[in-house]
Amino acid sequence: MAKDLKEGIITERAGQKVEVYLPDEKKSYRAIPLGKVRKKTKLYAGDRVRGRIVDPQTFAVEEVLERKNLLVRPPVANVDRVVIVQTIEHPPFQHFLLDNLLVVYDHLGLDTVIVFNKIDLLSEEGKKKLQYWENIYKSAGYDVLKVSAHTGEGIDRLKDYLKGQVCILAGPSGVGKSSILSALTGLKLRTQEVSEKTERGRHTTTGVKLSPFGEGSFVGDTPGFSRVEALQFMDKEEIRLHFPEFLRYKCKFSNCMHINEEGCGVKEALKRGEISCERYKSYLKMLHLHVDWLKDYCKEEEG
């Protein structure tokens, strides 16, 4: 790399306007991609670039580094983590929806973290529920954080957890995504109403903006999915690969769907209580299946 080339991250692209943030200068510039860059690729928020400061407002982009990923909704490159925001109460927790988000983001190759917000509002029963679900998701292998965007409880831990990462917020409306963005950055989320049917692959028309916060972290001001269905993204044979707890067990058949096959390690683990009934039921529901033997091991209603 030439000595005078500086590194930056693209924070916004809205039509012709491209903005780049230089961590060394702690300052944003208007980015002008040189011809050789323009010929190769369009720039996206999240792109890591190298170039030169040509005047106090302008940065000439000479090179775009290889992308680790490119998310479609919102359009952001090099996303390190999707922060999936949920609540236990107000609105009530829908674990099937969370399970679908976890499966779909894993399918897209993105790391996630589950953040339960509004812990300041929890009733005594709500606190028990939170503990119950936290155990289930932690045992399955997910990271779980608890915050209140209102009181600020847990926000520093979240900031610390997201250190140096580019992230976006996802989850149903009303859970506090916008409030968490404000707690992290002091800014507001751009709301985007999308109907359930058209969620898949929808492009945002307005440019997404990444905002710096904490220590070298960035968060997008446009949310990801609020609800998804796993089967809209993948075949039914793939879904089981995105339940991390299933992958710990061996089955007689390598293509075992963990339903009625003999020698199924996942079914045995469920019977021993090592795999959560709630998670297994979500798996069946994603496949639109029902099995009779389940009632012998799992209660009808839990949680």
Nearest partner of 238 among 47, 41, 106, 54, judged by Cα: 106
Q: Are strands 76-77 and 112-117 parallel, antiparallel or unpaired?
A: unpaired
Q: Other CB atoms closer than 10 Å to residue 273's CB: what's the count?
A: 10
Which range binds Zn ion by CB under 5 A, 18-26, 83-91, 160-168, 243-251?
243-251
**Cα–Cα–Cα angle for 262, 268, 269, nearest 5°?**
145
Residue type, 216: G
Q: Which does 251 bind (CB under 5 to 8 A by kind): Zn ion, ligand GDP, none?
A: Zn ion
**Closer by beta carbon to Zn ion, 199 or else 261:** 261
* Residue 176 touches ligand GDP, criterion: CB under 6 A: yes
Q: How far is CA 135 from the centre of its chain?
A: 20
In the window 127-166, what residues touch ligand GDP (CB under 6 A)?
148-150
**The length of the chain, given as a count of residues:** 303
* Residue 168 touches ligand GDP, criterion: CB under 6 A: no
Q: How far is the CB of 253 from Zn ion (least distance, A)?
A: 7
* Residue 181 touches Zn ion, criterion: CB under 5 A: no
Which range binds Zn ion by CB under 5 A, 10-18, 120-128, 166-174, 258-266?
258-266
Q: How far is the CB of 177 from ligand GDP (least distance, A)?
A: 3
* Burial of residue 197, with CB atoms counted within 10 A of its CB: 0-12 exposed, 13-18 middle, 19 or more buried: exposed
Strand order in the sheet with 112-117: 144-146, 112-117, 81-87, 166-170, 217-220, 210-213
* Residue 214 touches ligand GDP, criterion: CB under 6 A: no
In the window 259-278, what residues touch Zn ion (CB under 5 A)?
264, 266
**Closer by beta carbon to ligand GDP, 117 or else 165:** 117
**Closer by beta carbon to ligand GDP, 61 or else 122:** 122
* Residue 217 touches ligand GDP, criterion: CB under 6 A: no
Distance CA 147, CA 158 (A): 8
Contact 193, 186 (CB under 8 A): no
**Closer by beta carbon to ligand GDP, 8 or else 172:** 172
* Residue 48 touches Zn ion, criterion: CB under 5 A: no
* Residue 102 touches ligand GDP, criterion: CB under 6 A: no
Site string (177-196) toward ligand GDP, x via CB under 6 A: xxx---------x-------
Which range binds ligand GDP by CB under 6 A, 17-25, 59-67, 167-175, 214-222?
167-175
* Burial of residue 62, with CB atoms counted within 10 A of its CB: 0-12 exposed, 13-18 middle, 19 or more buried: middle
Please report, as ranges, the residues that interact with Zn ion according to CB under 5 A. Answer: 251, 256, 258, 264, 266
